[in-house]
Amino acid sequence: MEAYTRWVRRNKEYVHSLESLANGLTWLLPERFSESEIVPEAVTSILGIVTVVNEHIIETTPTPRSQMDTRPPEPSSFPYSLCLNLMKDIETLVEVMAQHFYGDDNKWNFIAVTEATKLLARLALLRDSGYKMLLHGGETMNDGKDPNEANQQHTNGRLLHHGRNGHFTPEGRALSAMSRFGENARMLSDPTWFRRAEHHQRAIMELPESDIKRSKPTLSSFLSEKGFLGGLFLMGEVMFIARPLIYVLLIRKYGIRSWRPWFVSLFIDLVGMSSSTISSIADKDRKLQLSEPDKDELRRRKMLLALYLMRDPCFGKYTRQRLESTEKTLEHIPIVGFLAAKLIELLVGAQTRYTYMSGS
């Protein structure tokens, strides 16, 4: 394992190229979006897990400063972000297997367990981070620093070394990327794996004066310090975390064709985002000053609202008809018509999977 770790750290660009190619080829596997897609999904999940582990290895690469540091290392917190990434890579496989062995109705029991597990992990991460905004659902570490501040630190003589090669992570895999619509809006210029590596590097490359250990605030101390707006901000984060589980439980009770889960989920998203936005805008004392990653996260969450067009019953009643109409309009145009037909086919197939369109 040590030899593999060294190889990954020495050849990280080559590793990302192989991962991107392999993840793209999985969509050429037969029986995709059919009743027997367990094997293709299992292959995709395994590749995703390998990718996440490789990213973790790259992110935890020792730096010259950390190697020379003679201070006793601080106990590391539980790797919630790593666990959340791993869960996101196996959740579609869980859904496919549950549907295959237990049917369309009973699969929601397994999806609910998956969402409940992610909810607990995100709540623990929220507390562990000192009640900072969760970036990409907790998949990216939020160190509370602005990239602009890091650049200023670099000009002051502080080492901030990072690489950018534009390769996609598991979240960028074809239709899985569509399920993270807002994330992909910035992925081409700022990949998720790079953001996590950048945050990690920034956290460990600070000057000694910023290394003073600060105790993490408790819930009561956070609310006492931030006041009403802090409570409003925290309510928005909790609603964002709890929304997927509530949505699944409502589908389990009322069915996927009911408008009730759709409207309740949309209401929770709107109220949660409004709470986070209002708390930051109305913060005249700047107690809740948002960093650039926090602002990007709010924009990402707003863009995720587009996924409601791909969720039943809205998709079955409205969106699908628009897609089919577009396909008929473009089918006579060479190349464009073929590409549009394939894209719509993928969208319609992906829409049948909750995990592709969950935005969680």
Give Cα separations from 52 to 16, 88, 168, 198, 204 (angstroms): 11, 10, 11, 16, 21
Sequence-ordered list of residues with C-beta below 8 angstroms from that of 155, at least 6 positions apart, any chain: none
Q: What pLDDT shows up at residue 184? A: 44
Distances (CA, A) of 110 to 157, 195, 229: 51, 31, 36
Asked whether the beta carbons of 285 and 227 are under 8 A apart, the reply is no
Q: Residues 193, 169: contact at Cβ < 8 Å?
A: yes
Q: Which residue has the higher pLDDT, 24 or 102?
A: 102
pLDDT at 118 over 70: yes
User: Who wins on pLDDT, 28 or 43?
Assistant: 43
Query: Do 230 and 278 form a contact (C-beta atoms < 8 A)?
Result: no
Cα 228 to its chain centre, rounded Å, is 28
Give the pLDDT confidence score for residue 328 in this predicted structure. Answer: 92
Cα gap 344→360, rounded to integer Å: 23
Of the ranges 56-60, 76-80, 226-230, 340-344, which is most confident?
340-344
- pLDDT, one tens digit per residue, over 134-173 is 999 998 888 766 544 444 444 343 333 333 333 444 444 4
Lowest mean pLDDT segment, chosen from 14-23, 29-38, 321-330: 29-38
Which pLDDT score, from 0 to 100, does residue 151 have? 44
State mean pLDDT over 315-332: 92
- Tell me how far apart the alpha carbons of residues 262 and 56 are, in angstroms, rounded to a whole number: 35
Residue linked to tokens 């708390």 = 279
Q: For residue 197, what pLDDT is reported? A: 52
Cβ–Cβ < 8 Å for 110, 102? yes
- The average pLDDT across 304-330 equals 94
Confidence class for position 11, pLDDT limits 50, 70, 90: confident
Contact 357, 91 (CB under 8 A): no
Which pLDDT score is estimated for 34? 53
**b/e burial code for range 294-329 (CB count within 10 A of at least 16 → b):** bebbbebbebbeebbebbbeebeeebbeebeeebee
For residue 179, pLDDT over 80 is answered with no
Query: Residue 127 — pLDDT band, cuts 50, 70, 90?
Result: very high
Structure tokens at 67: 């190697």
Per the CB < 8 A criterion, the answer to whether 295 and 302 are in contact is no
CB 58 within 8 A of CB 84: no
What's residue 114's pLDDT? 96
| Interval 251-280: pLDDT, tens | 999 999 999 999 999 999 999 999 988 887
Show the tokens assigned to 204: 């460990």
Q: What is the DSSP letter of 140?
A: B
Model confidence at 30, in pLDDT bands (50, 70, 90)?
Answer: low
- Report the amino acid identity of residue 306: A
Residue 211 pLDDT grade (very low, low, confident, very high; cuts 50, 70, 90): very low
Question: Which of 301 and 75 is assigned the larger pLDDT?
Answer: 301
pLDDT above 90 as % of the chain:
41
Instruction: Give the span between the Cα atoms of 81 and 79, in whole angstroms.
Output: 6
User: CA–CA separation, 283 vs 280, rounded Å?
Assistant: 5
CA-CA distance, 4 to 23, in Å (whole number)?
20
In the predicted structure, residue 287 carries a pLDDT above the cut 90: no
First-to-last CA distance in the chain? Answer: 32
Question: What's the pLDDT at 166?
Answer: 38
Number of domains in the chain: 1
- Name the CA dihedral angle for 234, 189, 43, 89, rounded to a multiple of 10 degrees: -10
Average pLDDT over residues 196-206: 52
Confidence (pLDDT) at 257: 93
210 pLDDT band, cuts 50/70/90, is very low
Domain span including residue 273? 2-357
Return d(Cα 57, Cα 311) in angstroms, integer: 36
Q: What pTM was computed for the model?
A: 0.76
What are the backbone angles phi and psi of residue 213, rounded to the nearest 5°?
-70, 125
Q: The tokens 């994330």 sit on which residue?
A: 183
The long-range contacts involving 348-351, CB below 8 angstroms and separated by at least 24 positions, are 348/320, 348/323, 349/32, 349/33, 349/175, 350/33, 350/175, 350/178, 350/179, 350/310, 351/310, 351/311, 351/312, 351/315
Residue 44 pLDDT class (50, 70, 90 cuts): confident
Amino acid at 5: T
Residue 180 reports pLDDT greater than 50: no
Q: What is the mean pLDDT of the chain?
A: 78
